[in-house]
Chain A
Amino acid sequence: MKKFLSFLVLSAFLAFGSLSWAADSDTQDVYCELKPITVFSVSGNPGPLIIDQANPSEDPQPVTDGSTWYSFSNNVPGKKIVGKINSAMPQYTKLEINLNAPPDATSLGWVELSDGNQNLVTGINRRKGSYTIFYRFSAQIEAEPFSTTKTVTLTMTDN
């Protein structure tokens, strides 16, 4: 009887031993960090904006371009897009810009560009995407014929 009991205890011990080896684990600690990121770009330059038509007794017809877009990735809340040109437009002319806004943000619609920054889109939160840029060039009849190039700088910055 004593022998049988010993045998049982030994068997149980062996069974437990083999079970305890059936699986094994080890761990790693992984530290993750997500930094503030705000990147902004445009797709290229718009086509030439050429005014060459007018109706009698009216100012020349404005021309528009919607061939370009801007893209951004931003993970910081409360951003806006501002824009300016590198020098003032000739007298009796104006260059306007209208940016389509991402969801939840607000476009200010057509905004006349000058050499100081103007708000174009406000209330941009954590988002990424690409949206259309529209330009409109208009002139009064008093404007002398000319051709020129302006550099438009768009900046995504804090609200």
Chain B
Amino acid sequence: MKKLLGILVAALFIFAASQAMAGNTAQQTVNFQINGINEISVSGNPGTLTINSATAGQDPDPAEDTSTTYSVTTNEENKKIVGKIDSAMPNYTKLEVQLAAPTGGTSAGYVELGTSDQNLVTGISKLSEAGKQISYKFSAQAEAGTLSGSRTVTFTLTDS
């Protein structure tokens, strides 16, 4: 009986050992990386900005549009949005833009657009937000006369 028990224990040991020898192990090294991602997009073009009224003795009433929005995504810190137009505005007129700031950012309020980049929103860090309002204001002095034209406004998300 004692012998039988010994044989059984030995057989079990051998079986277990053989099982352990049957599995191979393999290893993989997984490299991962997140690049800096900075994305900005606008919802479309604003409506026509038409100036057609004034109070006597004062410059014409400005025209405004708040119908468009922008979306922004960045996984980096301390970014800003700048903006410019493709060519200068006619004499005695100006085109201003105001961007609502995403969380943690600071809007510069209404900023007159020129052909070089102007800061519009600063202090943007690691966020993803959509539907932030873009406001345009087109104003003119009486001396501007009558005119019509279009400008392409370029918004860029870049380093502060």
CB distance from A82 to the nearest CB of B (A): 16
Does A150 make an interface contact (CB < 8 A)? Answer: no
- CB-based contact B46/A28 at 8 Å: yes
Docked Cα-Cα span, A123 to B154, in Å, equals: 42
* Chain B residue at minimum C-beta to C-beta distance from A42: B56
Nearest-CB distance from A127 to chain B (Å)? 5
- Count chain A CB atoms within 10 A of each CB in B38, B49, B54, B134 and give the residue with the most: B54
**Which residues on the A side are within 8 Å of B46 (C-beta)?**
28, 30
A75→B60 contact, CB < 8 A: yes
Interface residue? A74 (CB, 8 A): yes
Pair B153/A32 contact, Cβ less than 8 Å: no
- B74-85 CB mask vs A (1 if < 8 Å, else 0) is 000000000001
For chain A, the bracket of interface size reads 35 or more
Chain B interface residue count, Cβ-Cβ cutoff 8 angstroms: 55
**Stretch in contact with the other chain, from A19-27, A45-53, A58-66, A109-117:** A19-27
User: Does A37 interact with chain B (Cβ within 8 Å)?
Assistant: yes
What residues on B are CB-neighbors of A140 within 8 Å? none
B151 CB to nearest chain A CB (Å): 5
Instruction: Tell whether A145 is near chain B: CB-to-CB under 8 Å.
Output: no
Q: Which of B89, B93, B141, B156 lies in contact with A23, CB distance below 8 A?
A: B156
Q: How far is the CA of A125 from the CA of B43 in the complex (A)?
A: 41
A1 near B: Cβ within 8 Å? no
A-B contact list, 10 entries, CB within 8 Å? A18-B35, A28-B155, A30-B45, A30-B95, A32-B138, A34-B148, A37-B54, A39-B56, A41-B56, A74-B142
Query: A30-B151, A32-B63, A128-B54 provided; 15 other pairs, C-beta below 8 A?
Result: A23-B38, A23-B156, A23-B158, A24-B38, A28-B42, A29-B153, A30-B95, A32-B93, A36-B146, A37-B53, A39-B53, A71-B57, A72-B57, A73-B55, A75-B142
| 7 A-B pairs with least C-beta separation | A71-B57, A41-B56, A35-B52, A73-B54, A71-B56, A128-B142, A33-B148
A: which residues have CB within 8 A of B? 14, 17-18, 21-37, 39-41, 70-77, 126-130
